[in-house]
């Protein structure tokens, strides 16, 4: 009890002076990162273009600039674990592996900046990184200064080899030291991911100190992994949604679109769901070999607009049965992004037929529907009109519903306000259960 009381006192004391103050991440960050595709490959003798080294980063920076990713909004290129030397320099500073980063991180950062991109790097709050390289424990201030001196724009701070019980104070210490550098650095935390196994993290405190944060298992290159993460976000949405917003977002982990584990339908589903969840969009893919259809999913301007819209509200699961889940994300100007996700494994598509009101859209006089990927108009619907479509196995149907309020000069946030009232009145926040508002059985086509 005394330990808990002391921790609470420290959090209360430091909250006023340690809160993150960088003005960054007002929409979910968009980036490319090494980890999912390249892991901890340090064999530059046999794999010079695929190992974690400056050559790989330069190649990917070139492609991000040349192939439309930068212009679409993917602005950070991030080196994950295994970039370091196994020891600090004579001054106690982190240093890159000299064989794999022969010109140094500052030089590499300058190159990334010359491409109109921003540079991100990985560190660890503990004694060692997850890959066994030097951690930042007892060196947080020095490491923050080092990153700033190198011109780093984004820091991912993992939590291996540390005591999660100290993170409520330790991570905010890094927040303070990053603030003290005077350099705007996006701060990506792994803090809650190490606490969820034994308690609910203090997401209010986390949101005050981090621009984004991991809170669940690492993603792997499979549809099962993607589904597990999506379902975790639905089951725990009461804790997660209030913490998310401009400048601070939940991070369900990387996009695996472009790798080996997802079909086209599954790739579209992950992209749509990450947009609905207001999730950071962090690619981890070989941009040299990505197929055209995968690239088109990652660059889809309509889906990116849903993810990047100004309110930054994380979408809510409002309906669930054994196969289908429905998710709604309120957006600016009385729009709602809606995802109908088919998690079934049957051979045929899910035959969907439900009224807009039964989907938990607020009772506005009229809605104009637009398909989410193509931007093609679907039609005009009243709340009690039925909407029917087929949803592919392991697929998604994404649409945007523009409310027509019938009230001159209505607030651009009226839709958000009405949805919030509906959530409260109909108890849509009950995670893991079919929503009481919607019909118990959908009508089959």
The residues carrying an active-site annotation are 158, 218
Determine contact, residues 248/207, Cβ cutoff 8 Å. yes
Rounded CA-CA distance 61/32 in Å is: 9
Q: What distance lies between CA 169 and its chain's CA centroid?
A: 24
- State residue 398 phi and psi, 5-degree precision: -115, 130
Determine contact, residues 67/290, Cβ cutoff 8 Å. no
Query: CA neighbours within 13 Å on the CB side: how many for 97?
Result: 19
Determine contact, residues 148/109, Cβ cutoff 8 Å. no
Work out the angle at residue 310's Cα, subtended by the Cα atoms of residues 250 and 68, and round it to the nearest 5 degrees: 85
Query: CA neighbours within 13 Å on the CB side: how many for 119?
Result: 22
Phi-psi sector, 23: left (phi>0), alpha (psi -120 to 50), beta: left
Work out the end-to-end distance of the chain between its first and last CA atoms, rounded to an integer number of angstroms.
58
Extract the tokens encoding 242. 């209030």
Determine contact, residues 210/201, Cβ cutoff 8 Å. no
Q: What distance lies between CA 423 and its chain's CA centroid?
A: 23
């Amino acid at each position: 009890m005394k330990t808990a009381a002391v921790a609470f006192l420290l959090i209360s004391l430091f909250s006023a002076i340690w809160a993150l103050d960088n003005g960054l991440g007002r929409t979910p960050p968009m980036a490319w990162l090494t980890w999912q595709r390249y892991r901890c490959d340090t064999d530059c003798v046999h794999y010079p273009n695929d190992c974690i080294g400056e050559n790989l980063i330069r190649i990917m920076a070139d492609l991000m600039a040349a192939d439309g990713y930068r212009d679409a909004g993917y602005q950070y290129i991030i080196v994950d674990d295994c970039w370091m030397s196994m020891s600090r320099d004579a001054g106690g500073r982190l240093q890159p592996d000299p064989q794999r980063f022969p010109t140094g991180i500052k030089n590499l950062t300058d190159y990334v900046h010359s491409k109109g991109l921003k540079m991100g790097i990985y560190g660890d709050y503990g004694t060692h990184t997850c890959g066994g390289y030097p951690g930042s424990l007892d060196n947080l201030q020095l490491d923050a200064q080092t990153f700033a001196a190198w011109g780093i724009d984004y820091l991912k701070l993992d939590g291996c080899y540390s005591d999660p019980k100290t993170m409520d104070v330790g991570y905010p210490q890094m927040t303070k030291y990053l603030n003290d550098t005077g350099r705007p650095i996006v701060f990506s935390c792994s803090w809650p991911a190490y606490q969820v196994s034994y308690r609910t993290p203090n997401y209010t405190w986390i949101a005050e100190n981090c621009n984004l944060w991991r809170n669940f298992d690492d993603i792997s290159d499979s549809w099962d992994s993607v589904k597990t993460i999506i379902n975790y976000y639905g089951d725990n949405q009461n804790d997660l949604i209030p913490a998310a917003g401009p400048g601070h977002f939940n991070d369900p982990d990387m996009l695996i679109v472009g790798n080996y584990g997802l079909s086209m339908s599954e790739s579209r589903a992950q992209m749509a769901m990450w947009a609905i969840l207001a999730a950071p969009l962090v690619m981890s893919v070989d941009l040299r070999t990505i197929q055209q259809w995968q690239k088109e999913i990652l660059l889809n301007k309509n889906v990116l607009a849903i993810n990047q819209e100004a309110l930054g509200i994380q979408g809510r699961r409002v309906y669930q049965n054994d196969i289908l889940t429905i998710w709604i994300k309120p957006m600016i100007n009385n729009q709602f992004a809606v995802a109908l996700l088919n998690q079934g494994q049957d051979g045929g598509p899910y035959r969907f037929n439900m009224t807009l009101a039964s989907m938990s859209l607020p009772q506005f006089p009229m809605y104009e529907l637009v398909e989410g990927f193509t931007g093609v108009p679907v039609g005009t619907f009243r709340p009690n009109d039925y909407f029917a479509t087929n949803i592919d196995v392991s697929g998604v149907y994404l649409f945007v519903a523009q409310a027509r309020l019938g009230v001159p000069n209505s607030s651009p946030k009226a839709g958000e306000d009405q949805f919030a009232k509906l959530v409260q009145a109909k108890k849509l926040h009950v995670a893991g259960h079919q929503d009481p508002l919607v019909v118990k059985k959908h009508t089959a086509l």
